Structure 1
Amino acid sequence: MMTIDEDSAVPPYQQICDQIVARIERGELAVGARLPSVRGLAAELGVAPGTVAKAYTQLETAGVVEAKGRAGTQVAAGRDSTRALAATAAAEFAARVHRLGLGTDELVRMVRAALDKL
């Protein structure tokens, strides 16, 4: 069962992504497994449907899941979901920092400092 930590600095949509990827890696969700509907999962987690939709879109962009129309959203085959999701998150972060006008060296220092705190 998935949960949302409202006290976390990690946005709810990212928590959903992380938990789905973790369930895939643990073998709890096999290739082709159907994910809950957007509205169903939103109701279960107490979040807006748009939050779940954003998570599913990010997972689909990363190749972790596939939207199958009326058949729902299913776990995709043949991708390294952790690396794909990390690459998507890194690209989004880099674009956000670029819009703030920070340079590459400063960005790398910030990421290293953040990783050192983990």
Structure 2
Amino acid sequence: MPLSLSVDPNAPEPPFEQIRARIAEQARSGALPVGHKLPTVRGLAGELGLAANTVAKAYRALETDGVIETRGRNGTFVAAPGDTAEREAAAAAQTYAQRARRLGLDRAAALAAAQDALRAVYGD
């Protein structure tokens, strides 16, 4: 199953973000099954006509998000879905809550700030 990927040079998102988003979507939808071997950084960069650093940045972000895993010289693979995103979101929420409290915000103000941030990212 080949990786179906293209980059739109006229899109508002930078190329690395387009790569990251498309691979993440394909992995989450099952179009790229768990264990699917991804092209090398240089190989994908060559296919897309991009700098290797652009693809490497996308792969690093995907690995941080738990979407892919690198197995040394064996290559990069789609990771098994797990609760990585939920764990990281919970940790970020905990950090936010502690910071808001240190800043002197009450619970309602901290919640309102978080809701505003979510609306800005996800829309209404």
TM-score (norm 2): 0.66
One-letter code aligned to 2:64? T
Confirm whether residue 4 of structure 1 aligns to residue 18 of structure 2: no
Q: 1:38 aligns with which of 24, 37, 41?
A: 41
Q: Secondary structure at the match of 2:37?
A: coil
* Sequence identity percentage: 45
CA deviations on 1:71-117 (whole Å, 9 max, x unpaired) are 10011113268x56xx6xx9xxxxxxxxxxxxx98897576456559
For structure 2, list consecutive stretches of 5 or more residues without a partner in the other structure. 93-109
Number of residue pairs the alignment of both structures matches: 102
The CA RMSD over aligned residues, in Å, is 2.9
Match of 2:60 in 1: 57
One-letter code aligned to 1:5? D
Q: 1:17 aligns with which of 16, 20, 44?
A: 20
Query: Over alpha carbons, which structure has the higher Rg?
Result: 2
TM-score (norm 1): 0.69
Q: Is the 8 A contact 1:31 1:77 kept in 2?
A: yes
Match of 2:80 in 1: 77
